[in-house]
Amino acid sequence: MEAALHLRAICEADMPLLQRIYASTRAAEMAAVPWDAAAKSAFVQMQFDAQHKHYSRHYADAQFCVAEAGAGALCVPVGRLYVWRRPGAIHVVEITILPEFRQRGYGTQLLQTLQREAAEAGGACVVSIHVEHGNPALSLYQRLGFQKISENGMHDLMEWRAAAAQNNTPEGT
């Protein structure tokens, strides 16, 4: 596993980084359209701006963070994590790891940190996330114990329940 992560609140100077992180989620889709590079870039920028505005409006009290690995001069951004907390609930609004840092355990670290937080909050606390159909990270969520609760259009709502996880833990572990 790679270096431990830490989170820091986003700031205005992070907008180009956050746009690049967002663009990485649309790369396959953009590769399939017959637009020139400028049109693709303009479209992705417009979509990022709309998403950022939506999240800021609908999750105003959420924690919007850049995930970084390393320390000091060796600290590098590896992705983003947006989390909205409510009594008894932790909702992952957005989790994205940059392609060059995927498959290194960073997503696992971030999600397990939230699972520990939920477990420490009490047995009824739930960690939830909406997952787009076909998202390659689905296997990660399933491996960490998230279960599909409902389907809404192109997304599934998945949840991890601290109480259920504790009930599935063998005695003595």
Rounded average pLDDT over 117-140? 91
Residue 127 has pLDDT above 80, yes or no: yes
Return the higher-pLDDT residue of 47 and 171: 47
Distance CA 96, CA 52 (A): 14
Model pLDDT, residue 141 = 97
Among the ranges given (83-97, 121-135, 155-169), the one the predictor scored with the smallest mean pLDDT: 155-169
Residue 60 has pLDDT above 60, yes or no: yes
Bridge partner residues of 64 (DSSP): 82
Torsion of CA 28, 158, 57, 12, to 10 degrees: -50
Among the ranges given (7-11, 36-40, 143-147, 169-173), the one the predictor scored with the smallest mean pLDDT: 169-173
Mean pLDDT of all residues belonging to the chain: 92
Among the ranges given (1-5, 39-43, 44-48), the one the predictor scored with the smallest mean pLDDT: 1-5
DSSP-derived letter for residue 92 is E
Q: What are phi and psi of 47, to 5 degrees?
A: -65, -40
Model pLDDT, residue 134 = 87
Rounded average pLDDT over 70-92? 94
Model pLDDT, residue 170 = 47
Residue 100's contacts (CB-CB under 8 Å, 6 or more residues apart) are: none
Question: Going from the N-terminus, what domains does the chain have, and what CATH number goes with each?
Answer: 5-167 (3.40.630.30)
Q: Radius of gyration of the chain from Cα atoms?
A: 17
pTM, entire model? 0.90
Residue 169 has pLDDT above 60, yes or no: no
Residue 63 near residue 91 (C-beta atoms within 8 A): no
What percentage of the chain has pLDDT greater than the value 90?
Answer: 82
Model pLDDT, residue 173 = 39
